[in-house]
Amino acid sequence: MERTTEINRLTWALAITTVYFFAELIGGLLTNSLALLSDAGHMLSDIAALGLSLFAFRMARRPATAQKTYGYHRLEIVVALLNGLALWLVVGMIFHAAYNRLFDPPEVESLGMLVIAAIGLGVNIAAGAILYGSHHECLNLQGALLHVISDALGSIGAIAAAMIMLMTSWTIADPIISIFIGLLILYTSWSPIKESIGILMQSVPRGIDLGRVQEAIVQVRGVIQVHDLHVWSVTSGVFTLTAHAVIDGRENLQQVLNEIEGVLKDRFRIEHTTIQLETEDRGEREFQAF
């Protein structure tokens, strides 16, 4: 499975994010802004997330081996899960720092904070635009994009905090908005974490109804019954199915198998299938023996 486009997009997004991380870190230290430092910390996690995603894509291009018969595609899902969990770690650090500042809010250079946060938002929008075009079918890229979106939320929060402090001198706005940013990150990160765990647990892929798959197979001429049906994802968009199909012995088994595979590919985008065909009389013999 080629990922050339995704690799190129990730490389550009990683370069942009890395350059601005240092600018935001220095700006946060100079202005004494927790919101900016939180955003810089989050941007550091973005760099790690984009780097891991890039590594996973490159590894996934390696061919399968005798020991790894599916290749390295599942590594993309592991990285997507790690990226989601890394967001939770960043949120914990934000909450800890914000809690300490709630009771003793320091002075913040609001104008400098506003300028740096605005530039950061522009950087995040640029990185997000680069990643957006290819994220729909790939959970790994969704995780990387989620980091960038969450970081954009952090920039928006920092802008809001800076404007509030400029107008009111209410310095406690900095840690309060940082907490709000953390809550938003927790909310947006749950879905890819849940989906990653589902793939690793070999759950039925999102968007596929196992009952409809079984019904579609049974509707193929010559198929009497389907049992031991399993559908799971190797990685994002790569679906695998195994099943036993009881067939009318008078039918051409190869033709029936071809029709089943065609239905699964056309209706459910399932291309990797292992289907054991059983004739009706075999099923009856096994039942009598039992």
3-state helix, strand, coil in the chain (%, to 5): 70, 10, 20
pLDDT of the residue at 287: 36
- CATH 3.30.70.1350 range(s) for the chain read 210-289
pLDDT of the residue at 72: 81
Q: How far is CA 14 from CA 10, 32, 60, 69, 155, in A?
A: 6, 26, 19, 31, 17
- CATH 1.20.1510.10 range(s) for the chain read 4-200
Q: Summarize pLDDT for 121-157 with one digit per residue, the tens.
A: 888 888 888 777 655 556 667 777 777 777 787 778 8
Superfamily the domain 4-200 falls into: Cation efflux protein transmembrane domain (1.20.1510.10)
pTM above 0.75, yes or no: no
Q: Summarize pLDDT for 188-247 with one digit per residue, the tens.
A: 778 778 888 998 899 998 889 999 999 999 999 999 999 999 999 887 778 999 999 999
Contact criterion met (CB below 8 Å) for 201 and 167 = no
Quote the DSSP letter at residue 170: -
For the structural domain made of 210-289, what CATH number should be given? 3.30.70.1350
